Amino acid sequence: MDLPERGALDLLPVIGPDRTETLRDGLRAAAKSLSGRTVWQINTTATGGGVAELSFSLLPYARGVGIDARWLVLAGDSRFVDVGKRLCLLLYGHEVAEPDEAGYAHYAEVCDEAAAHLAARLRPGDVVVLHDPQTAGMAPVLRRAGARVVWRCHIGSDLPTAAETWERLHPWLRAAELLVFSTRRHIPGPLRDSPVRVIPPSIDPLSPKNRDMDAAQATQLLGKVGLSVGISPLVAQISRWDVLKDMPGVMTAFRTALHASDAHLVLAGPDVTAIADDPGGAAVLRDCHARWLGLPRSERDRIHLISVPMSDPAENAAIVSALQRNATVVVQKSLAEGFGLTVTEAMWKARPVLASAVGGIADQIDDEHEGLLVTDPHDHAAVGRQLSRLLADPALAARLGTAARRRVHGDFLPDRHLLQWARAVRDLID
């Protein structure tokens, strides 16, 4: 994967001189510790979703300070992708069938083969960061090849579920020397005694998705996906078409609030054909579409389903940005979430966010101060009520949006994130 380079100084206008200097020092120290070693990141998709987004955000800063950071995508066949998706859903606490023995055996085979391939390119002491359960199976072979292996888990459940899945993954995870989670509440019981760190993600304020955009450009981008800026107020959820994002539930909740305002709803997600590791996306989009077709015309006119083109990543990011910026309220009604980048992206744009208090989202938003949280994501009426409240009270929406941006500035920009990684890597190898 071709990656650009970025320096701590690029962030100076956003984070100021003190934070920039701390970041520069931290990155330089990590580069010194790492000298001669490569840091490999492995996940299962180059586009779409938070893990790809994070790699695009963070790796350029590491490369900018001279760290040889590289990103590889493990592209398995459809059977492997299916097992990977199941593992993710299970670890999120979603009820789906556990992979069968043959599925696990296939998973192990693909991971072993990919790991052997990488091992041939490794130098002893290289650091390999394996993302999520799909790549966890690579750990033992890489460890035997002399790599320092970190497992980065972006997902999890607030309840102690998936004991069987964690047990199945355990022999692979034992080979990793460090496990990293986005939120403490997702560290499962059996791994509490392993070396674990909590490192919440961040967003890059300089990326095409998060940097400022003028109104004319936003209008033009919205036009590309068939929306006019005249459509206002606008409620939007922008997510992958994943069952756990509950796009149909957003539609249901929005309908309970229809009478209270003349708002429109946008459900937007990436073109489902473009995401390598998300096989269920097409079915979710079809389900949304079928429900939409069943609505009365007056409601259909106020609900817009949008597939955001993925062929040009910069344009995709800019369209997502334009949608987030133009939303009166951004919703993230996830049923489970490791850390919702979409939430932080919207908060950075000073949008009032209405989200479920699940997983990392509960850490991202201070309820009633930086956004609104709904405790039970299945409670559509409660989501509808909070939506009506936000739409009826622009002063509240503005106050939440201002506090939201301040929170992201303090806690969820790349300097904090990179420094935590720099410290973790140094502690691992020094």
Which stretches of the chain bind ligand UDP, using CB under 6 A? 49-50, 53, 209, 238-240, 268-270, 308, 316-317, 320, 339-342, 345
Tell me if 252 sits within 8 A of 380, measured CB to CB.
yes
Nearest-approach distance from CB 236 to ligand UDP, in angstroms? 11
Tell me if 287 sits within 8 A of 252, measured CB to CB.
no
Nearest-approach distance from CB 34 to ligand UDP, in angstroms? 27
Nearest-approach distance from CB 271 to ligand UDP, in angstroms? 8
Exposed, middle or buried, 214 (CB in 10 Å: 0-12/13-18/19+)? exposed
Q: Which of 39, 33, 56, 32 is nearest to 128 (CA)?
A: 39
Nearest-approach distance from CB 342 to ligand UDP, in angstroms? 4
Q: What is the distance of C-alpha 16 from the center of its chain?
A: 26
Distance, CA of 280 to CA of 272 (rounded, Å): 9
Distance, CA of 21 to CA of 292 (rounded, Å): 51
Helix spans in 267-377 (H): 281-293, 297-300, 313-326, 341-348, 361-364
- The DSSP-derived string for 361-385 is HHHH--BTTTBEEES-TT-HHHHHH
When the beta carbons of 93 and 270 are compared against ligand UDP, the nearer one is 270
The kind and range of the H/E element at 86 are: helix 78-91
Nearest-approach distance from CB 277 to ligand UDP, in angstroms? 10
Nearest-approach distance from CB 66 to ligand UDP, in angstroms? 27
Q: Which of 85, 77, 126, 129 is nearest to 106 (CA)?
A: 77
Structure tokens at 370: 């930086």
Structure tokens at 416: 């904090």
Distance, CA of 407 to CA of 404 (rounded, Å): 5
When the beta carbons of 190 and 313 are compared against ligand UDP, the nearer one is 313
- Specify the DSSP class assigned to residue 342: H
When the beta carbons of 40 and 339 are compared against ligand UDP, the nearer one is 339
When the beta carbons of 99 and 269 are compared against ligand UDP, the nearer one is 269
Nearest-approach distance from CB 195 to ligand UDP, in angstroms? 24
Nearest-approach distance from CB 217 to ligand UDP, in angstroms? 17
When the beta carbons of 20 and 316 are compared against ligand UDP, the nearer one is 316
Distance, CA of 333 to CA of 246 (rounded, Å): 6
Report which residue type is found at 356: S
| Long-range CB contacts (within 8 A, 24+) of 249-253 | 249/333, 249/335, 249/377, 249/378, 249/380, 249/383, 250/331, 250/333, 250/383, 251/288, 251/291, 251/292, 251/303, 252/380, 253/331, 253/333, 253/380, 253/381, 253/383, 253/384, 253/387
When the beta carbons of 142 and 238 are compared against ligand UDP, the nearer one is 238
Nearest-approach distance from CB 306 to ligand UDP, in angstroms? 8
When the beta carbons of 202 and 342 are compared against ligand UDP, the nearer one is 342
Q: Which of 219, 204, 226 is nearest to 56 (CA)?
A: 204
When the beta carbons of 67 and 336 are compared against ligand UDP, the nearer one is 336
Nearest-approach distance from CB 332 to ligand UDP, in angstroms? 7
